C-alpha cells in the first residue's frame, strides 16, 4: 500500500499573511532536566545518557491556518433550521472513504467551477460520483501555498457545483486552493462593484441549507490517480470549533 500525504507542513512561514501565521516554540532537551531537578529528582539519579526530553508549544495557530476541514458551524450557526455541527461532532464514518479527484487545474483564476465543468470532466474520463465518496478538487494552486498571495489567486467552487455534489450524496469534499470559494479578496471586490449581496461566499453558504464538510489547503493532488484510492481525514477533536487541522492522506492499493 502506498500512502500519499495531502497535508501541508505545520511550521512558521514569514510569507504567510498575518491571519495564517503559525508560531511554534521548540524547547530543547536540557529544559526538561531543569524541570526534573525542580520537581526533586537529584542529578545523580538521572538515567545514564539522559539529556532530558524535547517539548514543543503551539503559541499561535488558527484552526484555518493550515490543511484543515471546516464544520457546518463555520458557515452558519444553523443548518436547515437546526444548530450547525461543530468539528468535534463530525461523524467519523464520513472521515474515511473512497476518493475521487476532479481535475480543474485548467480553470483560470477567478473563474468559478460549475456543474457543467464537473460533468464534462466525469464524462471525458468515464468516471462516476458515488454516494459517500470523498471528492477532491484539484486546481493546481497548491503551488502557491506558502507564498504571500496564496489567498488572492485561484479558482473555486460555485454554489451550484457545491450543491450538486451534496445532492449526489457527497458529505466530505476538499480543494487544494486557499479556500473553497473563489479567492476572498476577489469576492469582496466583485460584491462591491456589482452590489450583489448573493455573490460573497456563495459556495460556503450552501451549508446554511444543506450539511456538508469541506477541506481546504490540500497539497499533492497531482500524486493521485483520478480514482482507485481511499482518503482518510481525521480532524483534531476541538470541542465547539468551526474547523480543525487534519492530517489528510490518500491510501493506494
pLDDT in tens, 201-239: 999 999 999 999 999 999 999 999 999 999 999 999 999
**Which tens digit of pLDDT belongs to each residue from 66-117?**
999 999 999 999 999 999 999 999 999 999 999 999 999 999 999 999 999 9
Number of other residues whose CB lies within 10 A of the CB of residue 109: 14
**pLDDT score for 46:** 75
Q: Taking the CA atoms of the chain, what radius of gyration do you get in angstroms?
A: 21
**pLDDT score for 16:** 94
Could you tell me which residue, 52 or 190, shows the higher pLDDT? 190
Per-residue confidence at 35, pLDDT binned at 50, 70, 90?
Answer: low
Q: What is the mean pLDDT of residues 45-65?
A: 88
**pLDDT score for 186:** 96
Adjacent-strand bridge partners of 74 = none
177: helix, strand or coil: coil
Q: 106 CB contacts (<8 Å, ≥6 apart)?
A: none
Distance (Å, rounded) from C-alpha 49 to C-alpha 46?
Answer: 8
Q: What is the mean pLDDT of residues 164-191?
A: 97
Backbone angles phi, psi at 144, to 5 degrees: -95, -5
Distance (Å, rounded) from C-alpha 107 to C-alpha 176?
Answer: 13
Distance (Å, rounded) from C-alpha 208 to C-alpha 42?
Answer: 60
Mind listing the domains of the chain with CATH numbers? 23-60 (no CATH), 68-252 (3.50.30.50)
Q: What is the pTM of this model?
A: 0.94
Amino acid at each position: 500500500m502506498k500512502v500519499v500525504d495531502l497535508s501541508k507542513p505545520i511550521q512558521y512561514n514569514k510569507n504567510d499573511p498575518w491571519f495564517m501565521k503559525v508560531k511554534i516554540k521548540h524547547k530543547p532537551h536540557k529544559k526538561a532536566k531543569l524541570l526534573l531537578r525542580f520537581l526533586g529528582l537529584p542529578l545523580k539519579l538521572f538515567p545514564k545518557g539522559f539529556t532530558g526530553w524535547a517539548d514543543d508549544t503551539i503559541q499561535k495557530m488558527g484552526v484555518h491556518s493550515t490543511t484543515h476541514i471546516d464544520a457546518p458551524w463555520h458557515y452558519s450557526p444553523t443548518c436547515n433550521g437546526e444548530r450547525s455541527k461543530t468539528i468535534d461532532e463530525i461523524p467519523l464514518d464520513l472521515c474515511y472513504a473512497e476518493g475521487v479527484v476532479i481535475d480543474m487545474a485548467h480553470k483560470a483564476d477567478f473563474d468559478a467551477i460549475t456543474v457543467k465543468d464537473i460533468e464534462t470532466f466525469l464524462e471525458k474520463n468515464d468516471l462516476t460520483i458515488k454516494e459517500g465518496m470523498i471528492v477532491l478538487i484539484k486546481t493546481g494552486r497548491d503551488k502557491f501555498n506558502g507564498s504571500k498571495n496564496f489567498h488572492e489567486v485561484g479558482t473555486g467552487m460555485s454554489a451550484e457545483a457545491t450543491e450538486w455534489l451534496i445532492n449526489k450524496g457527497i458529505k466530505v469534499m476538499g480543494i487544494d486552493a486557499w479556500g473553497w470559494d473563489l479567492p476572498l479578496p476577489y469576492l469582496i471586490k466583485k460584491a462591491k462593484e456589482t452590489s450583489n449581496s448573493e455573490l460573497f461566499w456563495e459556495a460556503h453558504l450552501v451549508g446554511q441549507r444543506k450539511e456538508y464538510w469541506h477541506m481546504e489547503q490540500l497539497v499533492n493532488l497531482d500524486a493521485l490517480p483520478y480514482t482507485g484510492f481511499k482518503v482518510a481525514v481525521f480532524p483534531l477533536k476541538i470541542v465547539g470549533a468551526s474547523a480543525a487541522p487534519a492530517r489528510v492522506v490518500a491510501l493506494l492499493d
